[in-house]
Structure 1
Amino acid sequence: MTTPANRRVQLHSAPNLRDLGGLAAGGERIVRPGAIYRSATLARLAGTDLDAFAGLGITTVYDLRTAGERATEPDSLPAGVRTVGLDVLADSTEDVAASVGQLVTDPAALAATLGDGRATALMEESYRNIVSLPSALSAYRAFYLDLIDPTRTGAALFHCTTGKDRTGWAAASLLLLLGVDEDDVRADYLQTNSDLLPALRPIIDAAAAKGVDTSLLMPVLGVSGEYLDAAIDEATSRFGDIDGYARKGLGLTHSDLTALRQRFVGLPS
């Protein structure tokens, strides 16, 4: 397995940012380093971090947040970076992760919503939606087609707000389609717990100061293998397997998937 630390990009104002490159993708081949990145929100990217981000050669950013999220906290990016808005949850009536900010000020409401195992169940349902909502299928189809557009140059990055759920499925599905072993895909997914949670400490501490049982927040602020399992199960039950998800769910062709691997998989240098 690839050492997680080798792929981290440490930017204080842009947490949970890492290169997907370097992961083994079958045989001697690997995901190309420096070609595609994942992160949390880039709304607070500033100062020397902005310069460091520019040095990564990222020319396209795929923003998987809702239209409301993008309008409230637009990305702060170097000049010339193209942004593609892809609202994965446009068809969702409610997303538990998105509502946490309101719940942390009301301990009783938080307990009623997330207590007694409800948080995990809600998160698993959210992941099923991320796989099969019409808006999700449309957004991820557009994501993949733009990634392989021969006119697109430079590196790419995709993100949502915390870079763990919508972004987590984008990374997991991409890596699986590129031939990365599921254990490595899972390790990248779970790495969010060590890369993101320290940046969320102010939110956790503020909630504790208001009397919130912060143990109720952890299933929503972090990630769990159960959530990824729910997403993979949804893709399998609806479309047969991850390849069926790409072909039947997203409408990608054999040529599209071949182009994806040609673009993002290569031999170590």
Structure 2
Amino acid sequence: MSGAIVVVYRAGMTVSRPVGSPIPVASVPNLRDAGGYRTADGSVVRSGRVYRSTDLGAVADADRQALDALGVATVFDLRTLAEREIRPDRLPAGATEVALDVLADRDPSAAPAMLQKLLVDPVLAEQMLGGSEASEHLLSSYREFVALPSAVTAYRALYADLAHREDTPVLIHCTTGKDRTGWAVAALLLLLGVAEEHVFEEYLLTNEQLLPALTPVFDTFREAGGNPDILLPLLGVRREYLEAAVDEMQTRFGDIEGYFVRGLGLGTGDIDAIRGRLLTRD
């Protein structure tokens, strides 16, 4: 999607960049602004309000100033407890962390929750991800983002917080910032009225902005005797993954507002508040 966003960072620094472009913080790949997208009624999703990224467990000292400059007030961490314990976030200055475990009710052997183990164990990865199994794992996970009780609880809390939070910006992340985070941002943009075509474009940016940063992961896996190709369905994103969540949402709730109201239990006042905070007219 063409267009540019202008963001005024902490300390008054102003930056203009294309919609969807990566924010250059080397130790936090897949970091980008969810704003700048135009809606069906001609509004625009505010920039500098909602960011998305990988986890913040490996933020380099050299990158802290750039990350702090975003002015993030709250970090929503969608990872499991085990993931958070392995790689605790290094939070931006002044930020508060809110842990929302989307997969708390999921079998701990599920692929997204076992990501770190799979990346260093080619035998286990082949057992779980060989053939078409990786795609099936992800398709199942995306459907569960809509229906799994812990996912409902986590996403309800996230969007309710966005509805009433005075202090933005916020940053949403999981481990690689693509699946749990991908649905969080996609559902939000759909609710705001961004065309589905552009929501999918935003989602698929992860393949450009994350996979190059994971070259050492692929190399290490190869050196350990694994076939790095089997990691691609797990570490990248595919249109069919997000389609699975959208289809599940439509089957259960009819449309995105039905998902927010009947699926997540948010009120129309919450939805109006989210739109009021995150949409603007040119």
TM range (shorter): over 0.9
- Alignment pair present for 1:2 and 2:16: no
For residue 50 of structure 2, what is the aligned residue in structure 1?
36
Equivalents in 1 of 2:115, 2:51: separation in Å? Answer: 26
- Residue type at the aligned position of 1:177: L
For residue 133 of structure 1, what is the aligned residue in structure 2?
148
Displacement after TM superposition at 1:27 (Å): 3.0
Equivalent residue for 1:123, pick from 115, 129, 138:
138
For residue 10 of structure 2, what is the aligned residue in structure 1?
none
Matches within 5 A, 1:24-173: 24-93=38-107, 94-150=109-165, 152-173=166-187
Equivalent residue for 2:233, pick from 219, 227, 243:
219
Q: Mind listing any 5+ residue stretches in structure 2 that lack a counterpart? A: 5-16
Superimposed CA distance per residue, residues 96-117 of structure 1 (whole angstroms, 9 cap, x where no aligned partner): 1332432344444433322221
Higher normalized contact order (CA 8 Å, seq sep 6+, divided by chain length): 1
Displacement after TM superposition at 1:214 (Å): 1.4
Q: Mind listing any 5+ residue stretches in structure 1 that lack a counterpart? A: none
Displacement after TM superposition at 1:211 (Å): 1.9
Equivalents in 1 of 2:258, 2:231: separation in Å? Answer: 34
- Residue type at the aligned position of 1:133: L
Displacement after TM superposition at 1:61 (Å): 0.8
Superimposed CA distance per residue, residues 109-156 of structure 1 (whole angstroms, 9 cap, x where no aligned partner): 433322221111111001111221000000000001111215x31311
Give the root-mean-square deviation of aligned CA atoms.
Answer: 1.6
Superimposed CA distance per residue, residues 8-42 of structure 1 (whole angstroms, 9 cap, x where no aligned partner): 21100111000011111223311001111111111
Equivalents in 1 of 2:63, 2:155: separation in Å? Answer: 28
Q: Judging changes above 3 Å, is the alpha-carbon distance between structure 1 residues 263 and 104 closer, same or farther for their aligned structure 2 residues?
A: closer
- Residue type at the aligned position of 1:14: V
Whether the 8 Å contact between 1:50 and 1:78 is mirrored in structure 2 is yes
Q: Judging changes above 3 Å, is the alpha-carbon distance between structure 1 residues 78 and 122 closer, same or farther for their aligned structure 2 residues?
A: closer
- Residue type at the aligned position of 1:204: F
TM-score normalised by L of structure 1:
0.94
